[in-house]
Amino acid sequence: MNLLDPNPGAKELLLGNEAIVRGALEAGVGFISCYPGTPSSEVPDTFFRLAPKAQYYFEYCPNEKVAMETAGSASLGGVPCLVTMKHVGVNVAADPMMTLAYIGTPGGLVILSADDPGCHSSQNEQDNRYYARLGGLPCFEPSTAQECKDMTREAMELSAKWEQPVLLRTTTRVNHLRGPVKFGEMKPAKTRGEFRKDPSRFVPIPAVARVRHKVLTASLEKIRSEIENSPWNKSWGEGDVGVIASGVARSYLKDVLKSHPQIKVRVLELGIAFPFPENTVKNFLAGLKKVVILEELEPILENDVRTLCQKNGLDVQVTGKGEALPLWDEYSTLCVEQALAEALGLPMETKSSPSPDLSGLPNRPPNLCAGCSHRSVYLNVRKVFGDDAVYSSDIGCYTLGILPPLKAADFLLCMGSSISGGCGISRVIDNPVVAFIGDSTFFHSGITGLINAVYNDYNIILVILDNRTTAMTGHQPHPGVDQALYGRRPGSIEIEPLVRASGVQNVRRVKALNQKAVLEALREFREMSGVRVLIAEEPCPLYAKRMLGVKRNKVATVKDPGPASLECLNTLACPAFFIEQGKMGINPDACAGCMVCVQICDEIKPGSRS
Amino acid sequence: MKPLRVFFTGVGGQGTLTATKLLAETALEQGIEVNAGEIHGMAQRGGVVHSFVLLGGYHSPKISRGEADVILGFEPMETLRALSFLCHDGLVLSSEDPVPPVSVSTGRETYPPLGHIKSETIKYSPKAQFIPCITLARKTGVVQTANTVLMGAFFSMGVLPLGLDVLLDSIKKRLRPALVEVNLEAARLGAEYVSRHSQE
């Protein structure tokens, strides 16, 4: 499969995220920026992988705000731009995004917001369609791989035509589905442009902003009439009950109608629901008694339809959010089926699904990997502070330290919050506060919190868990990673000088797997006050193996199983450990050779990988 | 073809997603309408992985409770946990070699008896087959081919309109050359195992 194939016609099975890449390429995208985050990550990662063979410019940024600003401003130079992030990343990037909608984006700017209904890998399930309404961004919502490709392309074209940023709003299911995609013609990448100076447009001082707000509103009205006729907003079917569906709910609806041919409804699929295509919807409602609105999460279309009915005096019964269609989680064929049955007053045979006896079934939560240096650091933090300290956590693999026996996460807000959150609580409680942050998250938005900690004279210990990569989202580089690894200009931004430059006096830098060094630094810090920063360094073992070619030939073996090794098993809980007949063993296939257990337990010794 | 929903369940690192992609790509190449879905993110850290291949004209990228025509279980306890997704008269094909979660291997929780997993499964899928996928994969010399053992079994059972030969061709075409031979052997071992046990 060649996503860079300049010719149309190929039909490939693509991940939704790969299809988005192809769509942007077909539109001639010239500048792409991002901060990775599940479920958006395969979009930038694919651009990154293809970059050496392609013409476009691509960059990973320290955070979403920076990414929005680089891509948004590149579009001011007349180049078609794409910026990608997960839904909560849009919160970080919202400030420049709102302004970009006012001043406009001459080259075109598409903002991918990958939402996560069901919180598969996120701290919330906010509905970013609201951002489209808040900022004034036309909003595309694909539901299939082909639509991911086609809508991205069209979103880029629409954005360039109206010089307004456009939101491409996906959901986890859509980002991570695989479906056939027919390739279209590919425009050459437009990577150079020119900036036509116009301060009365591009510098939103109040006098300019007031005018630009009106321009934005007028543009949205023009876009509204354009999308009234869009093939993405299409109606079909028959009957006096209607269904208006958006996003992946359209797919569930189609499958329900296919398996229940007795259900007769008229359907309006809204692929672009903002600006709300009022005439299209009004025409659709004509002659209907009842309309069911299918949209995951918030009742946005439902409210738009209710408003439309009120404005036009339409006597249509509107049903949406309720018992069958909740405000939370994902939709499914089952909930759509139930909602339609209720609306049509049809008796639905209640399908009985198997209900096996699952009592006492152990759970299988995701876990820190064998050999992960976070486990080593957490072990020592617990040794020194136990349950007394409050652990302010952050977003990354290390959040998995929440589980016993490590229990190294007491609260968490968002990317970068560990330091400022830890500071806030430290001022009002008597317990010591220890904050944990990863290297990528530190660059993302930890630095400002650290500066605040020094500036406002806080008592806090910050542990920077530096595993030299963005591990959780798939090992993307970040400013602290030597770019020479990726064939780019050598060099990286070191964390320690950055911490010192922020005014921190007490900084220790240790090898994260070295038990003595980690423990001593923490004990020393316990007796001190002020801002104390421990930088614990060790590459993520998965990354070290795959990217750095590190081979660990040693494995740990329990030489003399007794109570000490059982104690080690209970405090460290490494996934390579097991108990057999009351004695501890270590699975050599799973052991990553970190040798943390060897350092803390006399019954465990290094051995060779046989 | 008759539309078919195939539900994959396994543990991160077992190659569940690789198997999902292999089935989806093979089917598309054979002219079958395909839609597949997976969830990334937490998968590689030892958590549960669910993925879906919907064949024959479905639009949805996921399978709800009571909808799966086939459950492919790459780990027996996860097969049990996923049984509620099976449709009436559905088929379960599962590995019978446990991959214990950390809570079990460290003695804090107990793995359910294999007999219980099998009897609960057969209650809802009388023709269910349990296959020693990891044991058979060891015979190839590469234990990571356990996922292909299960795929070999699946393709040889006549549920799909595609036979074992189609899977073998697809393996040759799609896998890295160094991995082709062991995976061909793994697929054959899985197929042989179910054919022997169906005759018994």
The pLDDT tens digits for A12-36 are 999 999 999 999 999 999 999 999 9
> Which chain B residues are closer than 8 Å to A472 by Cβ?
41
Q: Where are the domains of chain B?
A: 4-199
Residue B69 distance to chain A (closest CA, Å):
12
Which class is A233-344 in CATH? alpha beta
Pick among 3.40.718.10, 3.40.50.11540, 3.90.25.10, 3.40.50.970: CATH of A11-228: 3.40.50.970
Confidence of residue A509 (pLDDT cuts 50, 70, 90): very high
Q: Where are the domains of chain A?
A: 11-228, 233-344, 373-546, 554-608
A359: Cβ contacts below 8 Å, ≥ 6 apart? none
Residue A348 clears pLDDT 80, i.e. is over it: no
Secondary structure element (H or E) that encloses residue A305, with its range? helix A300-312
Confidence of residue B43 (pLDDT cuts 50, 70, 90): low
Mean pLDDT of B23-47: 87
Residue-wise pLDDT for A40-52, tens only, equals: 999 999 999 999 9
Residue-wise pLDDT for A81-119, tens only, equals: 999 999 999 999 999 999 999 999 999 999 999 999 999
> Which chain B residues are closer than 8 Å to A353 by Cβ?
65-66, 84-87
Chain A, 540-579: which have a CB under 8 Å from a chain B CB?
542, 569-570, 573, 575, 577-579
Mean pLDDT of B106-110: 92
Which class is A554-608 in CATH? alpha beta
Do A11-228 and A233-344 have matching folds?
Answer: yes
The pLDDT score that the predictor gives to residue A550 is 87
Residue B199 clears pLDDT 80, i.e. is over it: no
Contact A361 B112 (CB under 8 A): yes
Look-up: residue for tokens 């994959």? B8
- Assigned token pair, A509: 């830098």
The pLDDT score that the predictor gives to residue A120 is 93
Chains A–B, number of C-beta pairs less than 8 Å apart: 169
Whether chain B has a CB inside 8 Å of the CB on A164: the answer is: no
Whether chain A has a CB inside 8 Å of the CB on B161: the answer is: no
CATH number 2.60.40.1080 is the correct assignment for the domain at A373-546 = no
Contact A364 B11 (CB under 8 A): yes
Amino acid (1-letter code) at residue A486: Y
Contact B46 A173 (CB under 8 A): no
| Averaged confidence pLDDT in chain B | 94
Interface-testing mutation among A178, A250, A330, A467, with chain B (most B C-beta atoms within 10 A): A178
Amino acid (1-letter code) at residue B151: M
Amino acid (1-letter code) at residue A593: G
Whole-angstrom Cα distance, residue B51 to residue B34?
13
Query: What is the gyration radius of the CA atoms in chain B, in angstroms?
Result: 16
The pLDDT score that the predictor gives to residue B200 is 55
Mean pLDDT of A542-557: 89
Mean pLDDT of A165-191: 97
Secondary structure element (H or E) that encloses residue A292, with its range? strand A290-294
Mean pLDDT of B65-75: 97
The pLDDT score that the predictor gives to residue A349 is 73
Higher pLDDT among residues A590 and B153, named by residue: B153
Q: Is B196 left (phi over 0), alpha (psi -120 to 50) or beta?
A: alpha
Residue B143 distance to chain A (closest CA, Å):
10
Closest by CA to A130, choosing from A273, A252, A8, A245, is: A273
**Full DSSP string of chain B:** ---EEEEEEEETTSSHHHHHHHHHHHHHHTT--EEEEE--SSGGGT-EEEEEEEESS---SS--TT-EEEEEESSHHHHHHHGGGEEEEEEEEEE-S----HHHHTTSS-PPPHHHHHHHHHHH-TT-EEE-HHHHHHHHT-GGGHHHHHHHHHHTTTSSSS-HHHHHHHHHHHS-HHHHHHHHHHHHHHHHHHHHHHH-
ipTM of the complex as predicted: 0.96
Residue A595, helix vs strand vs coil: coil
Residue-wise pLDDT for A487-501, tens only, equals: 888 889 999 999 999
pTM above 0.90, yes or no: yes
Instruction: Tell me which CATH code domain B4-199 carries.
Output: 3.40.920.10
Nearest CA in chain A to B38: A176
